[in-house]
Structure 1
């Protein structure tokens, strides 16, 4: 990990991209804090608010594929600016919302589109292309850790905004804060051109259409996508419903906010370690360990008495495993197909993640309103984590240089 040899241009890209991810993911992780106050203000069930945030995750996934294609074709700067503007508009529209259509449009479609334009699918390929292949995995770990650090720093700040300004005022503050992404993009505008690939990673010989055709017929690629569905299911459910789950069990709202923040803090170490390790050992092996660890963590939360200690332990363990899936998952995409069209190909994998997010968020609200408890969705997440372990086992870590003959899953 000889970071000293990186050129100044690479450091500027890494720094600006990391700050963008801190803001984008810190604000996104804060939406769970609004489930209770919005529900009480409008007499809405958690299933309805959960549906809006599920739409957000689904829109994020679908639009991430389009955003990745636009970034690969026309460059990342325009996509990042458009994403920040849509993100801000969606949050502003959600402030003080009292109609369902506005909730689903603002917190759902617009915020989802905004995160798609400022999230991992756009920023991580940018970082990967700025460095050599030998430095790629630790850089992906840095970017992932930056998103988690944003979760640690921003979520308690948003809870403070709610205490100071009320939930609607807090959303107005968030809408203004996300515009800082536009400022962070400015130093990148003169460094990045359409088709930017970084000096060490010149364009791959395959065209985009040929690469997509190879990906479509490659079983390992689809197994990776299905496994990422489980990741999204776990993460989105916890992000959105953990605060309400804890307050339902008698904990103060500040404990709920710090639980989400602690998850982010612990994942700074988890993501960095995953990035470093997945550059040295089997990436699918790292993913298998992560998903098995999640199954163990959820089982412990369900079986042991729910106390402040058990909440903090779960937050630390789950946090360590939280976005640790991203460096090896995105790294496997790069290993299979190179970095030239990584934004598009990772966007497809990430769509699987967001389909899982949609299911986790919506089912969490629906099961709670139907049964009065989150227990069923917790156990579903545990079982799916074990399914993900099985899905990753047969993945082949090798470059696809010709049309795959193995059948698609």
Structure 2
């Protein structure tokens, strides 16, 4: 049976006034800034699909494959990064991830072939595994005492939303001022700020600081694998990855195909980021009022109908921006709900590893959402089949989350009964 010491990761429980401890606040701020950079720059990479494809002389599939590989490598390496963070602490993993990410973005600018594009995507993806949600939110989840955990995860996730809101006009402005090539180089340099920010995670614990029992990492993984809800959560998160990658990579090109000016795509993705600011925190708070699985089911249902609107309604700049804002309300609200659900079901000790395994499903979906959409477009000259697929997947994900039994595993229930 795993039990926590008096404080989680050396972070005090906070005063009687209910305020977040300063040590935890520092970790949350550092985590939020890292996620703002890693998620913001990643979100803006879709703006470069057309200019990079034209510069190299390929169809859209090559660049889409590069970003698909980014998502796939992010997912495949996320469990390994989570294990390292659980065993060695998140600071070193965040440092390495931030450095690899920055190099990968600069490499993307220098790519002159399909193979080099693929290499850049792979490097960015590996960097994201260390500077993305699994390690960073795992650090926050372990550091936060239970009464602060939901708020701490929501605030750290909010950083990613703010980053996405700011990064898109930042990247667009750089492109207008200096061209797409210099814009990518400067984005890579900006991404390097994640390296010093990772030092703020120094106070976050590793798993060994929290447990005094004999449950090992392998036992924790086997426990999760034997729980049906873990696999339902994984399958549902696959859909989230598909949706986000499809929109991030292909919405600018889709808007251009429908005869809209380039500024509309930038404004639409910025509107996604703005809606995301409200949606991430709002859905996280909703998960404290109703069951997290039900909040996720509602989120995916709303998202499916928004996709249907993109497909069936006559598009205009106003409609695209409005629909994008509504889509943003559902964008990353999945992250604090899903990570919080993992922590609730299995405890916070091996949160980075277990959330990393769930996140692998998300990124497999991300790979398909990026690459498959480009493949289908090159084959049939239209994104319509992908929009219909996105609608169906959203409704399926909603059903999968309804089927989850939201309760701690037997080990935690037994520990609570004997406490």
Alignment correspondent of 1:70: 84
Alignment correspondent of 2:19: 5
Deviations 1:321-368 (A, max 9, x none): 011111111111001110100000000000000011111111110111
Structure 2 alignment gaps of length 5 or more: 1-13, 413-419
Alignment correspondent of 1:16: 30
Secondary structure, in 3 states, of the residue corresponding to 2:224?
Answer: helix
| Equivalent pairs, count | 399
Residue 292 of structure 2 is aligned to residue 283 of structure 1:
yes
Alignment of 1:32-71 (within 5 A): 32-71=46-85
Structure 2 vs 1, CA of residues 176 and 16 (structure 1 numbering), >3 Å: closer, same or farther?
Answer: same
The answer (yes or no) to whether the contact 1:263–1:319 under 8 Å persists in 2 is yes
1:109 to 99, 122, 127: 122
Shift of 1:40: 1.1
Deviations 1:121-180 (A, max 9, x none): 011111122222122112222122210110010111011111222222111101111111
Q: Tell me, in whole angstroms, the C-alpha distance in 1 between the residues paired with 2:33 and 2:166.
A: 12
Alignment of 1:2-401 (within 5 A): 4-106=18-120, 108-189=121-202, 191-192=203-204, 194-195=206-207, 206-401=215-410
Q: Tell me, in whole angstroms, the C-alpha distance in 2 between the residues paired with 1:397 and 1:272.
A: 21
Q: Tell me, in whole angstroms, the C-alpha distance in 1 between the residues paired with 2:335 and 2:277.
A: 12
Q: Tell me, in whole angstroms, the C-alpha distance in 2 between the residues paired with 1:57 and 1:278.
A: 27
Shift of 1:204: 6.6
The answer (yes or no) to whether the contact 1:75–1:196 under 8 Å persists in 2 is no
The answer (yes or no) to whether the contact 1:214–1:402 under 8 Å persists in 2 is no
Deviations 1:302-336 (A, max 9, x none): 11101112101211110000111111111110011
The normalised TM-score by structure 2 is: 0.92
The answer (yes or no) to whether the contact 2:108–2:184 under 8 Å persists in 1 is yes
Secondary structure, in 3 states, of the residue corresponding to 2:30?
Answer: helix
Structure 2 vs 1, CA of residues 193 and 398 (structure 1 numbering), >3 Å: closer, same or farther?
Answer: closer
The farther-off stretch of 74-83 and 121-130 is 121-130
Structure 2 vs 1, CA of residues 139 and 296 (structure 1 numbering), >3 Å: closer, same or farther?
Answer: same
The answer (yes or no) to whether the contact 1:23–1:150 under 8 Å persists in 2 is yes
Compute the RMSD of aligned alpha carbons. Answer: 1.9
Q: Tell me, in whole angstroms, the C-alpha distance in 1 between the residues paired with 2:365 and 2:372.
A: 10
The answer (yes or no) to whether the contact 1:139–1:275 under 8 Å persists in 2 is no
Alignment correspondent of 1:406: none
Structure 2 vs 1, CA of residues 204 and 231 (structure 1 numbering), >3 Å: closer, same or farther?
Answer: farther
Secondary structure, in 3 states, of the residue corresponding to 1:305?
Answer: coil
The answer (yes or no) to whether the contact 1:64–1:121 under 8 Å persists in 2 is yes
Structure 1 alignment gaps of length 5 or more: 404-409
Shift of 1:81: 0.6
The answer (yes or no) to whether the contact 1:203–1:340 under 8 Å persists in 2 is no
The answer (yes or no) to whether the contact 2:264–2:321 under 8 Å persists in 1 is no
